[in-house]
Structure 1
Amino acid sequence: MAMSGGKDDGSPMMEMNTTPLIDVLLVLLIMFIITIPVQTHAVKLDLPVDDPNPPPPPDVDPIKNRLGITATNQIVWNDTEVSLNQVKQYLAQTKSMVPEPELQFQPDPIAAYLYVDRTLAVIKDSGVTKFGFVGNEQYGSFNKAARMPN
């Protein structure tokens, strides 16, 4: 009589049968899973619209071009503010010129090193051969002033 679930002496079974409870819970779980809305992994973005009349790019000088970084970490190409991608394009233009124009690089002494480093990496990747730092004397006076006690 091991299959009856009770004791061999014929007394009633005192344990609750949990099988129907589990069945009901599984049905409820399946219903909740079905009713949950499908998750979309899309990110809604409002992309900028292309300007039909973009400002003309600053000319690439065939003799020398000045690339600088201001104290506010803005990249400047021949006194015009540009982005790092535009610098890549201008450097590609200068590389194709014969003879190659000189590139003069002058970051501000208080410009963040990260911006200077990224700009130097772009210059190195472009393969420019006529390159020079301009205004190095400002760094010497800047460091002396920083080291002098008050």
Structure 2
Amino acid sequence: MALSFARPRPGDGETPMSDMNSTPLIDVMLVLLIMFIITIPLQTHSVGVDLPQTPKELTPPPIDAVKNRVGIDADGTVRWNGEAVDRLTLRQYLAASLRLPAEPELQFQPDAGARYVTVDEVLADIRRAGVTKLGFVGNERYARF
């Protein structure tokens, strides 16, 4: 924006200002820009992926109605009745065993070299599942610690 403060001389008459006021033009352009930004539809970038589903009904969990054994190896592998499982599968097996008419006994047997963190996490999963019949197996090995 340019302003002219020059005074006209006494015999000259008034000279028109030749500079254009650009403030309204900038205001209009900003308003139009904001309107265009608001009216642009949001782009949703999503790719549909069909993940394979394993049928749970075809493979029943290996749950014994009398007793089940949860073990932890020295390398941190969690085992359910001798079969290596992850913690999510362990929680599913615990929930399925609690749905039986009579709650089976759960025997817990961690290896002496297993990390305490892994043992603690598995015990927390057992407690959260609501198991009431829990026994520790193999503690006699630690009598002469």
Unaligned runs of 5+ in 2: 1-44, 46-50
Superposed CA deviations along residues 5-41 of structure 1, whole A, max 9, x for unmatched, are: xxxxxxxxxxxxxxxxxxxxxxxxxxxxxxxxxxxxx
Structure 1 counterpart of 2:101: 98
Query: What's the counterpart of residue 139 of structure 1?
Result: 142
Mapped contact 1:70–1:108 kept (Cα < 8 A): yes
Q: Report the Cα offset of residue 125 of structure 1.
A: 0.4
> What's 1:70 paired with?
73
Deviation of the 1:49 alpha carbon: 4.9
State the identity %: 46
Runs (4+) off by over 2 Å: 48-53, 55-58
Superposed displacement of residue 52, structure 1: 7.4
Say if 2:112 is the partner of 1:109: yes
> Separation in 1 of the partners of 2:60 and 2:99?
17
Q: What is the SS of the residue equivalent to 1:76?
A: strand
The total of aligned residue pairs comes to 137
- 1:139 Cα shift? 2.1
Q: Which amino acid aligns with 2:134?
A: F
Q: Return the letter of the residue paired with 2:97.
A: T
Unaligned runs of 5+ in 1: 1-41, 43-47, 145-150
Separation in structure 1 between the aligned mates of residue 94 and residue 66 of structure 2, nearest angstrom? 13
1:122 and 2:125 are equivalent in the alignment? yes
Bigger proportion of residues as helix: 1
- Distance in structure 2 (CA, Å) of the matches to 1:94 and 1:51: 20
Larger radius of gyration: 2
> Where do 1:13-32 residues align within 5 Å?
none
In the superposition, the TM-score normalised over structure 1's length comes to: 0.59
Provide the rounded CA distance (Å) in 2 between the counterparts of 1:78 and 1:60: 8
**How much is the aligned-residue C-alpha RMSD, in angstroms?**
4.1
How far off its partner does 1:122 sit? 0.3
Query: What amino acid does structure 2 have at the position aligned with 1:125?
Result: R
